Each structure stands twice: as C-alpha cells, then as structure tokens.
C-alpha cells in the first residue's frame, strides 16, 4: 500500500478561525478527514502532521525517511524562507506536491516566492480547502502512473 505524508506548517492549525476571508471556515481536521477518505478509497495510506515549529517539521521528514511514497506540503510562511525545510525535502528525494489555500502569487510581495516549488512535481494554490482535495487527487494520479497503472480519473 502506498503512503502519503501530508505536512502542514505554522498557523495551519488555526484554519476555520484564522482570517476566514482568506482561508475560509473549514478546519484542518475537516481537511484531513476528507483527504484520508479520498486517499484510502484508492488504497493509499495517509499520515498527517502539523507543527508551528520549523525544526519539528524537519525532524518529521527525517524520521519518515523513505517510509512514504509522496509528500503533500503546505509549509505556510516557511514556504518563503525556510532553507532547512528545503534541504530536508531535497535530501529525501521523494515526489512533493506543494499546496496553498490562498494564491501566494497575488498576495504581499514577500509571499510571492516559494523556496519549495523547485522541488515539487506540481502545486495547487488559491482554491481554499479545495486546494487540498485537488492535491490528494494529483497524488493519487501520480502514484497510479508511477506503478504503471492507468491514470486516476476523479
């Protein structure tokens, strides 16, 4: 069975109450439940991890090692400046899908650069909680194709 690690960075534990005009009213727990259901329906195990601390995220990546097949990551603000997170992801060499609920490219200038995008096989941003659902579907498709199976059709 394939395994996906869904990694969330700082302040994403506040979804549902944090700036609902940008991020909506859906909580991280609700997003995780939906993703787990989507992935498990395709025989893919999902593990979820969120931390407000950069080092904890790096530790989690080092701990999982190659114990998963793909990483979906919303690094929050760390997207824009965390070289240590970049290095940890690069060292793993696993396929990565970057996800953001807001469109980072039409926000403040300091949010318009992602250090993680060059490592990613793709990214989804700007669709609120739907961004996570789309990332899960992209992960399913990628994992199906990597096993030589037909493409996943949502």
The set of catalytic residues is 23, 100
Count of CB atoms within 10 A of residue 66's CB? 8
Pairwise CA distance, residues 67 & 62, whole Å: 10
Nearest to 142 by CA among 49, 72, 40, 65: 72
Report CA-CA distances (Å) from 139 to 15, 64, 91, 149: 22, 18, 20, 13
> Number of H helices and number of E strands within the chain?
5, 5
Pairwise CA distance, residues 137 & 139, whole Å: 5
């Amino acid at each position: 069975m394939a395994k996906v690690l869904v990694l969330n960075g700082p302040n994403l534990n506040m979804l549902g109450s944090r700036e609902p005009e940008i991020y909506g009213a859906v909580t991280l727990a609700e997003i995780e439940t939906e993703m787990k259901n989507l992935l498990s329906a395709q025989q893919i195990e999902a593990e979820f991890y969120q931390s407000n601390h950069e080092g904890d995220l790096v530790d989690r990546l080092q701990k999982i090692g190659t114990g998963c097949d793909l990483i979906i990551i919303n690094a929050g603000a760390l997207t824009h400046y965390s070289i240590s997170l970049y290095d940890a992801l690069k060292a793993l060499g696993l396929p990565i899908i970057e996800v953001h609920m807001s469109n980072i490219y039409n926000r403040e200038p300091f949010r318009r650069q992602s250090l993680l995008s060059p490592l990613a096989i793709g990214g989804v941003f700007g669709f609120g909680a739907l961004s996570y659902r789309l990332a899960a579907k992209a992960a399913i498709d990628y994992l199906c194709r990597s096993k030589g199976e037909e493409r996943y059709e949502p």
